[in-house]
Amino acid sequence: MLRNSPLFQLYLVRLRDFYRQPARIFWVYGFPTVLAVVLGMAFQNREPAPIQIDLVDAPGASWIKTALDEHNAALGRDRSASTTHTGIPAVFVDQGPEPDVMKRLKTGKTPLAIQPEGSDTWVYHYDPTRPEAVTARQSVDDILQRAKGRKDPATVRNAPVTEPGSRYIDFLIPGLIGVNTMGGGLWGIGFMLVHMRIGKLLKRLVATPLPRRDFLLSLLAARLTFLIPDLTVLLLLGTLAFHMPMRGGLWLVILVDVVGALAFAGIGLLVACRATTTEAVSGLMNLVMLPQWLFSGVFFSTARFPDAAQGFIQALPLTQLVGALRAVLLDGATIVQVAPALAILSAWVVVTFTLALRFFRWT
């Protein structure tokens, strides 16, 4: 009978243990949702943020300020409104004495300071390692050079791309799904096992007739159960709130996520197989998770890293999981196209479970 099965009873224990602790529910389901909403609002399609710069009050400053004001007027923008969709940022200027301007620049309150040296000469003060400062310098110089009469030999026009699938939020949602799958596998299994070891629960269980495989399978079954609503919440948020496309089959999305969950469950089991303190397992899990947060393409493409690091990056399970999810959701990839990623994730499943079961410590 199913109700008398040790595996089924242990599975129910894991479910009850989870939903009776509201904090776990928030961190598993609430936090990723809040993160997706906040980042989605931050990176939704909208006009570029205005560039705020400072101008030293010196001879020639009035011409620079007039040129920038005329640029803003041509865009139909002021400090409180944006009425065009040109993709060209407005530039707002605060004018003041040199000591005040330089102080603001050195304290990071402005990305760019302009110091006029006559009517046709000026100096840009900025930090070349700060991306927003480089952007501000290029945009402002382009405006001022045009105002001085520079003519461009070619005619260009802007065609902003706003189609779902090409936006940053579409890139981000699969990354968040992968991060949540990783966190659930490591914290949901690894941390819980060490907690049970500290409380002598594993020692008591091993003294019973309970098959050890049933205990471990119950953990795995509970993790896969928690995975479905987690995936559902983020997919619904992406498709309904942000109109993220889902060009591939839903069954393939679920398959990729399940294989990824198994890989991280195996890693969680391996990390916790010998640890005897929460401090030790927390350190090991952070050691495993941090490189994947940084290198696996969750928030930006893995192509940004040098070629020498690509072998290591592509071997990470989160890299394969996130890449396969993006391929299915955004590109409509088939199972044949994501087969290499599934193969690498499956290898992680086999290797980690084999090693974890070999070295697992029950007491």
Contact at 8 Å (CB) between 309 and 295?
yes
Per residue in 165-220, pLDDT (tens digit) is: 667 778 888 988 998 888 888 877 877 788 788 888 887 877 777 777 777 778 78
> What's the average model confidence in pLDDT over 126-145?
87
Residue 132 exposed, middle or buried by CB count within 10 Å (0-12, 13-18, 19+): middle
What per-residue confidence (pLDDT) applies to 225?
83
Question: What is the overall mean pLDDT for the chain?
Answer: 81
Amino acid of residue 294:
L
Per residue in 17-73, pLDDT (tens digit) is: 666 666 556 665 666 667 667 666 666 555 667 888 999 998 888 888 888 888 888
**What are the residue ranges of helices labelled H in the chain?**
6-19, 22-25, 31-42, 61-75, 98-106, 131-147, 168-185, 192-198, 201-206, 212-236, 250-272, 278-295, 310-315, 317-331, 339-359
Which CATH number does the domain 51-147 belong to among 3.30.450.40, 3.30.365.10, 3.40.50.300, 3.40.190.10?
3.40.190.10
Residue 16 vs residue 133, higher pLDDT: 133
What per-residue confidence (pLDDT) applies to 87?
60
Q: What residue spans define the domains of the chain?
A: 6-42+164-359, 51-147
pLDDT value at 321 more than 50: yes
pLDDT value at 275 more than 90: no
What per-residue confidence (pLDDT) applies to 202?
80
Per residue in 144-169, pLDDT (tens digit) is: 888 888 777 776 665 555 566 667 77
Contact at 8 Å (CB) between 219 and 189?
yes
Per residue in 78-114, pLDDT (tens digit) is: 554 444 445 678 888 889 999 998 888 888 888 899 9
pLDDT value at 258 more than 90: yes
Query: How far is Cα 67 from Cα 61, in angstroms, rounded to an integer?
Result: 10
What per-residue confidence (pLDDT) applies to 190?
79
pLDDT value at 6 more than 60: yes
